[in-house]
Amino acid sequence: MKLAVAGVGRIGAFHARTLKDVAGVDTIVVADLNHEAASSVAAEIGAEVVADPLDLVHQGIDGLVIATATDGHAPLLRAALTAGIPVFCEKPVAGTLGETIELAELEAKTGTLAHIGFQRRFDAAYRRARAAVTSGEIGTIHAIRATTHDQAPPPRAYVKVSGGIFHDCNIHDFDIIRFVSGAEPTTVYATGANKGDPMFTEEGDVDTAAAIITLDDGTLVTVTATRYNGAGHDVRMEVTGSGGAVAVGLDDSLALRSLEDGVQFPAGPQCWSFFERFHDAYLAELSAFAGLVATTSPSPCTVRDALEASRIAHACDLSRAQARLVHMSEIPGLDAPIADGT
């Protein structure tokens, strides 16, 4: 197989190195608007170099990995879908809900394999949580709690283009809630606050957020996010059912300290970034993509799935702005949302 990587920043370079060691991948082509960076990665892994990422679709490739800056995602994804080239794309697929809907429609029209980079779907513990729910192991699900707490805030330049905390941070929670529960949200109530750097207020964002989501099977979900978790990077999920309860992220790296007498857990060390927390999941998702290209198997996380996560983020934005309960029927999308993702 001949695979291409568009964008060789931190995650793109990691993806390129991952593909180098995947069985069946014979040739890798890389491209980045920073030609020096592309040449450096290419020299390291023995890859070919193309100057313009958009030219990658004309290189006779079998699959494309998109890891450029956010504004490069939609043009490259559109080009790959139109050309019938299997494509892996980091989130978000586009900067607006309307463009995301358009790309989901194009995915359906072309039938081209598109795999969106929600790496939590490839984390072993999240997959076990899904199995515990779908198998009935923990009975009827009553509540889910999802947490994404960053250790330190991103720079202003990132905040300006991120779309806000619900879109760049909680979007992963929204996707994994759908994946684990197999259910769709019906209503959302969200709020947020700023007690840190004034840039968040100045950019129309918040540094801490919370949402209550009701799923179509009656499950209640709470979601929280903050840019200021000084203890470390904390990503968790708890699923409570009539027959038991399970947790993801409850290990010795937990960025939380117990004040109970005699409790030594967690032993540490903590994770300080998403990359540490999900290193193995990132490896797994790219290896899986290469396997999908080789076998022409269905995508485990489609543009349609990305659209549904984005719709939840937009519902949270609307709820926070208007201080009211938002029904998901108010948010534009495609008919008959899909939550399977298997």
Which domains, ranges and CATH numbers included, belong to the chain? 2-112 (3.40.50.720), 120-272+302-330 (3.30.360.10)
- Cβ atoms of 88 and 82 closer than 8 Å: no
Residue carrying the six token digits 């949200």: 185
Mind listing the pLDDT tens digit for each residue in 198-257? 999 999 999 999 999 999 999 999 999 999 999 999 999 999 999 999 999 999 999 999
Element (H or E) spanning 318, and its range?
Answer: helix 303-322
Mean pLDDT of 268-287: 95
- HSE-up of 321 (CA within 13 Å, CB side)? 11
Please state the φ and ψ torsions of residue 4, each to the nearest 5 degrees. -120, 150
Residue 342 has a pLDDT of: 40
Which of the pair, 338 or 82, is modelled with greater confidence?
A: 82
What is the arithmetic mean of pLDDT over 19-39? 96
Mean pLDDT confidence for 174-185: 98
User: Any bridge partners for residue 222, and if so which?
Assistant: 145, 212
pLDDT of 325 > 90? The answer is yes
pLDDT confidence bin for 11, thresholds 50/70/90:
very high
- Global pTM reads 0.95
- What is the reported pLDDT for 335? 72
Alpha carbon distance 89, 288 (integer Å): 13
Contact 210, 340 (CB under 8 A): no
| pLDDT, position 46 | 97
Cis before residue 337, ω within 30 degrees of 0? no
Q: Stretch 121-140: mean pLDDT, rounded?
A: 98
Q: What is the residue-averaged pLDDT of the chain? A: 95
339 has a pLDDT exceeding 50: no
* Model pLDDT, residue 161: 87
**CA pair distance 224, 164, nearest whole angstrom:** 14
The arithmetic mean of pLDDT across residues 2-12, rounded, is: 97
For β-strands 234-241 and 244-248, DSSP reports them as antiparallel
Which residues, in sequence order, are CB contacts of 135 under 8 Å at separation 6+? none
Amino acid letter, 159: V
Percent of the chain at pLDDT above 90? 96
